[in-house]
Structure 1
Amino acid sequence: MAEKVTSLQVAERAGVSQSAVSRVFTPGASASKKTVEKVRKAAEELGYRPNVLARAMVSGKSRIIGLVVAYLDNYFYPEALEILSNELQEKGYHVLVFMASQTAGNIDTVVEEILDYQVDGIVTASVALSSDISQRCQAAGVPVVHFNRVQEGAGVSYVTSDNFAGGKELAEFLIDGGHQRIAYIAGWEGASTQRDREAGFRKGLQQAGRDLFAREVGNFQTETARDAARRMFDVPVERRPDAVFVANDHMAFAVMDELRFGLGLKVPEDVSVVGFDDAPPASWRAYDLTTMRQRANLMVAETVDALLSHIETPASATPKQSAIHAPLILRGSARVPEGWANDKGTT
């Protein structure tokens, strides 16, 4: 087995100092174009690869971000996390993905493992950490930003859509559409997105003097949502909702399939269906789903800004807690009240 090529050998081949080689392979460090060309040419000829882990031990910075994910079934998350990974890589950081279940104990164990990798920061997506583990990360000097989840408390950064306002707007939309029996299919009840969307929806109904007509739980899962739809709608017509808000698009697609192909109902003639996310299939002709749009690009930009400010200027960084407006996207799955347009007049 050949001996490993060292940075000193690359420096000698390129005719530069060893520190120049280090700068060329250190993200963010400065080196002249001529030096970069000579060093990279020498490295390629010798088959040299920099030892990132060794450099991290010396500098105290791994330039690795731990990404904790539990729920990827929803089309929104793969799309958003691809954008997030690309943004971080452009800033010179590498993303290490850790999968976790939605139960808090499991997630906390995963985060303990991530800390062993000496990551510079952590982004959680589709999961919720306990307050204890968040404090442990802060004590270890590792900032955490929650993506599309809210965790209350001092010093906690999160970026999410304004789920409460979105839920409230959907209630107003369905009421203005003349619906009388308005129902809700909930997601996983441990998620802040589910909690806030339902709270806003109920608030909108309450302000109009209405109560929720029916409620089921879909747990953000296809089969569970389909079963929930059957329980809710396979009843005599007088007990059947004429509109339903499904807590995310992933479930809404399953609900629409069950309504149309399982129960023989027409959407929106028999029942209006609305969702939340504006996942790619929402615009497909098969679904044509009216929904609230989560603006992934803006959410990612805010997340990266919050994380890097904590990593690069920890002394002056302050927690960021952002709830980004989600516009209403009108399509064909729900009756459109007179005077309503996409986002009440904007496109």
Structure 2
Amino acid sequence: MAKSKRKPKKASVSANRVAELAGVSRSAVSRTFTDGASVSAETRAKVLAAAERLGYHVNHLARGLIHHRSGIICLIVAEMQTPYQAAFVDMATRRLQAIGKVVMVLNATGQPANVEAALRQTLNYRADATVVVSGSPPASLIETCIENGQRVILINRDDAAAGPHVVMVDNDTAAREAMLMLRRAGCVRLAVISSTAGTPSIIARERAFAAAAQEQGLEVQIVRAGPTGYAAGADGARQVLALSSRPEGVFCTTDLLALGFMDAARQEFCLRVPEDLCVIGFDDIPEAGWLGYNLTTFRQPIEEIVSQIAQILETEDEEDTGPRCLPVQVVWRRTVRP
């Protein structure tokens, strides 16, 4: 059998070859591809023509590492298939690429240790910064990243460790407002449908809602039926709506939980929303506005969160690490009685 002949791999075109073809110095090639560097129009034209002919591309990674900057920004995200996370990754990658960053998305779905492993991986790639969207990495590991010259930006989690930047939304105010909205609708028996994820943002919503209800002299049943998602919301409905004293008002800590809860309430318990039961969600995912749900919810300002991330990356002020807390907006639809 005849052996197939493989073509030898071509080496990448070097700046020296471009300089030789253009008849200029190696430094002239470097200046041509450096923003703001001084180079004559004639030299620039020669270099660009030679680069085009040879198929030359600047090695930005090597150039960046010389200046201790790789231009790489890592996003650590879990459950990217969920509508909120998908929307966040989409907007964040587009915005960061627009300001000249190379975005590396690391999937941390699964065990909590996956977040720690992903953060360690960012050190191997000498990332300029890591944005932790999901999970809570150990404070010691965050400190290690910072000591290695990497910025760490935590999303929706207030961290006690010194050094990381924090961008979060005002979960407390939103959850308290959710309780008051249900109370104004005449709801006395209240419940929170949450998940077993135990993320700082979800826990903050649970606690703030319960604290606001306690101030009104009301008790709240908190149900964590499973991982954050549609199925857990439906299971939560089965747990609380089968009781003789079922709740009149329900706050779901995410919209996906709320959608599952509402479908089970309507299909399995024949309840009407909002006539028999008022429901409020959190996130304002696209599905929340579908006619079949019309869910009253709180909108996470994804665009503003991403803008804050870009602002942190574009500034050199390492001391500005205080939490940036953004307000959330209530979106009134038809799952709460007027």
* Same fold at TM > 0.5: yes
Distance verdict in 2 for CA 1:13–1:261, change over 3 Å: farther
> Which of 187-196 and 325-334 deviates more?
187-196
| Aligned with 2:324 (options 322, 325, 335) | 322
Q: CA deviation at 1:74?
A: 2.9
Distance verdict in 2 for CA 1:3–1:303, change over 3 Å: closer
The secondary structure found in structure 2 opposite 1:276 is coil
- Give the distance between the partners of 1:11 and 1:36, measured in 2 at CA: 11
1:135-214 aligned within 5 A: 135-213=143-221
TM-score, length of structure 2 as denominator length: 0.89
- Give the distance between the partners of 1:32 and 1:251, measured in 2 at CA: 59
Q: CA deviation at 1:173?
A: 0.7
- Contact 2:232 2:260 survives alignment (8 Å): no
Q: CA deviation at 1:60?
A: 2.1
Distance verdict in 2 for CA 1:293–1:110, change over 3 Å: same
Is residue 226 from structure 1 mapped to residue 228 from structure 2 by the alignment?
no
| Aligned with 2:286 (options 280, 285, 289) | 280
| Aligned with 1:256 (options 262, 267, 270) | 262
Distance verdict in 2 for CA 1:98–1:245, change over 3 Å: same
- Give the distance between the partners of 1:248 and 1:104, measured in 2 at CA: 20
Deviations 1:243-273 (A, max 9, x none): 1111001211111121122332211111111
Q: CA deviation at 1:280?
A: 1.2
TM-score, length of structure 1 as denominator length: 0.87
Letter in 2 for 1:329: V
The residue aligned with 1:266 is 272
Distance verdict in 2 for CA 1:144–1:24, change over 3 Å: farther
| Aligned with 1:51 (options 59, 64, 69) | 59
Distance verdict in 2 for CA 1:285–1:33, change over 3 Å: farther
Please tell me the root mean square deviation across aligned C-alpha atoms, in Å.
2.3
The residue aligned with 1:331 is 333
| Unmatched tracts of structure 1, length 5 or more | 337-347
Q: CA deviation at 1:304?
A: 1.9
Is residue 78 from structure 1 mapped to residue 71 from structure 2 by the alignment?
no
The secondary structure found in structure 2 opposite 1:229 is helix
- Contact 1:158 1:303 survives alignment (8 Å): no
Aligned-pair identity in percent equals 32
Letter in 1 for 2:120: E
Higher relative contact order (Cα pairs below 8 Å, separated by 6+ residues): 1
- Give the distance between the partners of 1:44 and 1:178, measured in 2 at CA: 71
Distance verdict in 2 for CA 1:332–1:155, change over 3 Å: same
Distance verdict in 2 for CA 1:3–1:135, change over 3 Å: closer
The residue aligned with 1:134 is 142
> Which of 218-227 and 119-128 deviates more?
218-227
- Contact 2:28 2:39 survives alignment (8 Å): no
Q: CA deviation at 1:107?
A: 1.4
Q: CA deviation at 1:32?
A: 6.7
Is residue 247 from structure 1 mapped to residue 249 from structure 2 by the alignment?
no
Question: Displaced runs of 4+ in structure 1, greater than 6 A?
Answer: none
Q: CA deviation at 1:50?
A: 2.5
The secondary structure found in structure 2 opposite 1:127 is coil
- Contact 1:220 1:250 survives alignment (8 Å): yes
